[in-house]
Structure 1
Amino acid sequence: MKVSNVFRRGLSGLITTASGARPTAEGADGGEPQFPPQAIYYANHSSHLDFVTLWAIMPAELQPRVRPIAAADYWGSGLKKSIATRIFNAHLVHRSNDRPHTRADARTSRQTDSGSSPKTSQLTGMTEILDAGDSLIIFPEGTRGPGDEVATFQAGLYRLACHAPDVPVVPVTLKNLGRMLPKGEIIPVPHLSQVVVHKPLHVEPTESQEDFLTRARAVLVHELQSKPQTEGDTE
């Protein structure tokens, strides 16, 4: 089934209206969020609505070439699979185990490969997407967290950035989405959410994996620790 851009645009409006999602740009100039023709978008992960909301706020002309990475254990069967793959063009991956997402884990800045890196086949699928000229939406924490913290990043973000060094790595902070659809819930609870699209990153020539992942994570941590958006803030 081929999904038209008109349908995608209408669905995007429905999603952003229902979620109250409001995209904003980084910086004092108050400009609109910038979406490169191809990018590796990464974000904090607190809700099954995360990739849906991020996809929805993107320009309609880019949506067909944006491939969210989604967990097959949730999106991999029945109606959810059809929605994920046919409408959102998601690339499904199988997770071996959820990583613990505790406050201690969120506080540490040490990155590690042992037992937490994406499987080789998973990463190969993602590099093929980049090689085809499409964008990715990934969640480097590997599993959902409480929403106000960011766990250590898995190595995949660094490896993808190194695989395609000319493709910008765009940080995106998602605020309040975890409150809309908490773990264990299936019916969204309306909350005003915010999507902050930051300036792109690139791996520096001499930058190590640990340093890059720490720097990439720090962008999201800093934004989440900034003044929280209130329920009454609708502008």
Structure 2
Amino acid sequence: MKNLLFAILVRPVILFILGLNIRGRNKLPDKGPCVIIANHNSHLDTLVLMSLFRGRSFSKVRPVAAGDYFMKNKFLAFFSTKVMNIIPIERKMTRDFRGMFEPVLSALDDDGIIILFPEGSRGEAEQLSKYKSGIYYLMREQPGIPIVPLFIHGLGKALPKGSFVFVPFFIDIFVGETFYYTDNRHDFMTELNERMDTLQREGHFNEW
């Protein structure tokens, strides 16, 4: 059902209205388990990333999303669970990281391709925010899982935070080299930020 609904409702819009320029597509995983981390500027981020996958690999794609937002009404909950197949996570302070991430860990055990936005909420258009350390605590539970960094440019203008007006825009996607968990929070977060900064610089983008 997910494949069919996404193919009918979402993929045509993404592929025919937005122009996608993907660099390093061969670095995208064709199977799980793995974690894809990306910057977050728009409601369209997740849908664009999902559209990069097909067939069996698409069926394993599981975006992590804020449960308090995406489950707040029946239509959004239906679209989020039946079309996007999200993993809803409650955004709250806790030291029980394993408990909070249990649905994500279960999806990884089922060879899931997890899409995660370590910035947390959507940031300002085309600006990288500092990444939160939740990704460190998640990967600590599954240290052997590959992590694929991915940078998106353009969606912050196509549908920025706080806007409901969709503007067709050319989108650049940069896929980086796989890396793995490091058992030191500072070192891990530094590497994550450096890899994302490097992908952003590859585009030589002018400031908006």
TM-score (norm 1): 0.76
Aligned to 2:166: 188
Could you tell me which amino acid in structure 2 is paired with residue 223 of structure 1?
L
The separation in 1 between residues aligned to 2:165 and 2:141, in whole angstroms, is: 38
After superposing on structure 2, the runs of 4+ consecutive aligned residues of structure 1 that deviate more than 4 Å are 115-120
Q: 1:89 aligns with which of 70, 79, 85?
A: 85
Aligned to 1:162: 140
Q: 1:57 aligns with which of 52, 55, 58?
A: 52
The separation in 2 between residues aligned to 1:224 and 1:178, in whole angstroms, is: 14
The separation in 2 between residues aligned to 1:218 and 1:68, in whole angstroms, is: 23
* Cα 1:116–1:141 shift into 2, 3 Å: farther
* Alpha-carbon shift at residue 148 of structure 1 (Å): 3.0
| Larger helix share, 1 or 2 | 2
Q: 1:218 aligns with which of 186, 191, 194?
A: 194
Q: 1:179-198, CA deviations, whole angstroms, 9 ceiling, x for partnerless residues?
A: 11112111211110112111
Please tell me the root mean square deviation across aligned C-alpha atoms, in Å.
2.5
* Alpha-carbon shift at residue 167 of structure 1 (Å): 1.8
Percent sequence identity over aligned pairs = 24
Q: 2:119 aligns with which of 136, 141, 146?
A: 141
* Alpha-carbon shift at residue 161 of structure 1 (Å): 2.2
Structure 2 portions without partners, runs of 5+: none
Determine if contact 1:46/1:144 at 8 Å carries over to the other structure.
Answer: yes
* Cα 1:75–1:18 shift into 2, 3 Å: farther
2:26 is equivalent to residue 32 of structure 1: yes
What are the residue-to-residue correspondences of 1:63-74 with 2, within 5 Å?
A: 63-74=58-69
* Cα 1:166–1:117 shift into 2, 3 Å: same
The separation in 1 between residues aligned to 2:79 and 2:18, in whole angstroms, is: 18
Could you tell me which amino acid in structure 1 is paired with residue 21 of structure 2?
R
2:185 is equivalent to residue 209 of structure 1: yes
Q: Secondary structure at the match of 2:192?
A: helix
Aligned to 1:18: 17
Greater shift in the superposed pair: 63-72 or 119-128: 119-128
Q: Secondary structure at the match of 1:225?
A: helix
Q: Secondary structure at the match of 2:127?
A: coil
